[in-house]
C-alpha cells in the first residue's frame, strides 16, 4: 500500500482554499492509503513564534484537522516535535547535505528576502528536516502545492544519495502528489489569484460571522454586465466559484440568470454569498471549539499519533543506524 505524507506548519488557520483544496482529499485518502498527517512545529520555529503562540497554533490546527474529518484511527495524525526520531534522521542527513545546494533553493532565497534580520541555520537546512519528515516513514506520495515541489525533489535527492552512498535500497523515491482534477481551486476575494493565508484574501473555517460578512462585502467586483450573456470578468467568476461550493443550486442558478440578463446586483449577490459561507463555516467553528475544550480527547489523539508515528520512525531509524555503522553493542 502506498504511503502518503503531508505536513503543515502551525502558522495560521485553515482557510476555505485549504479545506476544498487539500483537506477534503486527505479525508478520502485516509480510507485508501497509509496516511501520515503531521503538524510541523519544528519548522515553524524558523520564524520564532512565542511559546504561547506555538502551543495555541498547534492545538488550533489539530482541532481543525479533526473537525474536518481527519480520523486519528485511520490516519496517523501527529505532532512533529513529539517524534525525536525525526530529529536524529535530520542530523544524519545533514552530513550529506551541501551548503551550496541548500543556498540555491527557492524557499531559502525567498526567506532571505522576506526576513533578512533572521536568516538562521534552521532556514538553510529546512529542506533537510522536511526530507527527514518524508523519508522516515518511507513515504512515496507527498501532496503539496507548487511552492513545495522543490522541497519534495530535494527529499528524493537525499533519499537516493543515502541509498547510493551505502549501496542500499533503504528509501523509496518520494514524489510530489498532484490532486489534478480532484483539486478544487478556491479563488481569493481580491479579484485575482487563489486564496492564500499570506495574501489576506481568505475566509477561514474558524472565523466570526461578522468578520466573514465584512470581507465578502468588500470583495472586488466590476461595473456590471452591460450586454446580455456577456462573459464574466475574473473577480465575478471568482464569486461564482465560491458560490458553487457553499451555496444551493437554486441560489447559483438565480444569480447566474441575473448576471446573464444584466439584472444582477452585486450587493445582493455578496450578501447571499456571505450568508452561505457563514452557514457553511459555523458548524466547523462550533466543532473546533468543542474539540479544543476537550483536553482529554486531544491528549488521547496526540498520544495515539505519537505512538504510531514513533513506531514507524524508529523502525526506519534502526535500519539507518545499522547501515551507517552504528552497530549495537
Q: At what angle do helices 84-94 and 295-324 cross, to 10 degrees?
A: 30
Q: Does 178 bind ligand TRP (CB under 6 A)?
A: no
Residues 24, 79, 303, 23, Cα dihedral to 10°: 0
Residue number of the CB closest to ligand TRP reads 7
DSSP 227: S
Q: Does 111 bind ligand TRP (CB under 6 A)?
A: no
Binding mask 12-51 for ligand TRP (x = CB under 6 A): ----------------------------x--x--------
DSSP 194: B
User: Which ranges constitute the DSSP H helices of 218-294?
Assistant: 234-246, 249-260, 266-293
Q: Does 86 bind ligand TRP (CB under 6 A)?
A: no
Question: Cβ closer to ligand TRP: 26 or 259?
Answer: 26
Tell which one of 41, 85, 133, 276 touches ligand TRP (CB under 6 A): 133
Query: In angstroms, rounded to a whole number, what is the distance separating the alpha carbons of residues 313 and 317?
Result: 6
Give the shortest CB-277-to-ligand TRP separation in angstroms.
Answer: 25
Those residues with Cβ within 8 angstroms of residue 130's Cβ, 6 or more apart along the chain or in another chain:
7, 40, 43, 151, 154, 155
146 is catalytic: no
Give the shortest CB-5-to-ligand TRP separation in angstroms.
Answer: 6
* Strand ranges, E, within the chain: 3-8, 34-39, 76-79, 141-143, 175-177
Residues 143-162 that bind ligand TRP (CB under 6 A): 144, 148, 151
Q: Does 309 bind ligand TRP (CB under 6 A)?
A: no
111 is catalytic: yes
Closest of 87, 85, 84, 77 to residue 38, by C-alpha: 77
Those residues with Cβ within 8 angstroms of residue 31's Cβ, 6 or more apart along the chain or in another chain:
74
Give the shortest CB-142-to-ligand TRP separation in angstroms.
Answer: 5
Question: Cβ closer to ligand TRP: 141 or 238?
Answer: 141
Q: Which residues bind ligand TRP (CB under 6 A)?
A: 5-9, 40, 43, 130, 133-134, 142, 144, 148, 151
Which residues are catalytic, by number? 111, 194, 197
Amino acid at each position: 500500500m502506498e504511503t502518503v505524507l503531508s505536513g503543515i506548519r502551525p502558522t495560521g488557520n485553515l482557510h476555505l482554499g485549504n479545506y476544498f483544496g487539500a483537506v477534503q482529499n486527505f479525508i478520502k485518502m485516509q480510507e485508501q492509503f497509509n496516511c501520515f498527517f503531521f503538524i510541523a512545529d519544528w519548522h515553524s520555529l524558523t520564524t520564532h513564534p512565542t511559546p504561547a503562540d506555538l502551543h495555541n497554533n498547534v492545538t488550533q490546527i489539530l482541532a481543525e484537522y479533526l473537525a474536518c474529518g481527519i480520523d486519528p484511527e485511520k490516519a496517523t495524525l501527529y505532532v512533529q516535535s513529539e517524534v525525536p526520531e525525526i530529529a536524529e534522521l535530520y542530523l544524519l542527513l545533514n552530513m550529506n547535505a551541501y551548503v551550496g545546494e541548500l543556498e540555491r533553493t527557492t524557499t531559502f532565497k525567498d526567506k532571505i528576502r522576506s526576513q533578512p534580520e533572521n536568516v538562521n541555520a534552521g532556514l538553510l537546512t529546512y529542506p533537510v528536516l522536511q526530507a527527514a519528515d518524508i523519508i522516515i516513514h518511507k513515504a512515496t506520495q507527498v501532496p503539496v502545492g507548487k511552492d513545495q515541489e522543490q522541497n519534495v525533489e530535494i527529499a528524493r535527492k537525499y533519499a537516493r544519495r543515502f541509498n547510493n552512498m551505502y549501496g542500499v535500497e533503504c528509501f523509496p523515491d518520494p514524489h510530489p502528489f498532484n490532486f489534478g482534477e480532484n483539486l478544487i481551486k478556491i479563488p481569493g476575494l481580491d479579484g485575482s489569484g487563489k486564496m492564500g493565508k499570506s495574501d489576506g484574501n481568505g475566509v477561514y473555517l474558524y472565523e466570526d460571522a461578522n468578520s466573514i460578512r465584512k470581507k465578502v462585502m468588500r470583495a472586488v467586483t466590476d461595473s456590471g454586465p452591460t450586454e446580455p450573456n456577456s462573459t464574466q470578468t475574473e473577480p465575478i467568476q471568482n464569486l461564482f466559484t465560491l458560490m458553487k461550493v457553499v451555496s444551493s443550486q437554486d441560489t447559483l442558478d438565480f444569480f447566474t440568470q441575473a448576471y446573464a440578463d444584466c439584472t444582477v446586483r452585486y450587493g445582493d449577490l455578496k450578501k447571499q454569498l456571505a450568508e452561505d459561507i457563514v452557514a457553511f463555516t459555523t458548524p466547523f467553528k462550533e466543532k473546533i471549539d468543542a474539540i479544543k475544550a476537550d483536553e482529554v480527547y486531544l491528549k488521547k489523539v496526540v498520544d495515539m499519533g505519537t505512538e504510531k508515528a514513533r513506531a514507524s520512525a524508529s523502525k526506519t531509524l534502526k535500519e539507518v543506524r545499522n547501515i551507517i555503522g552504528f552497530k549495537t553493542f
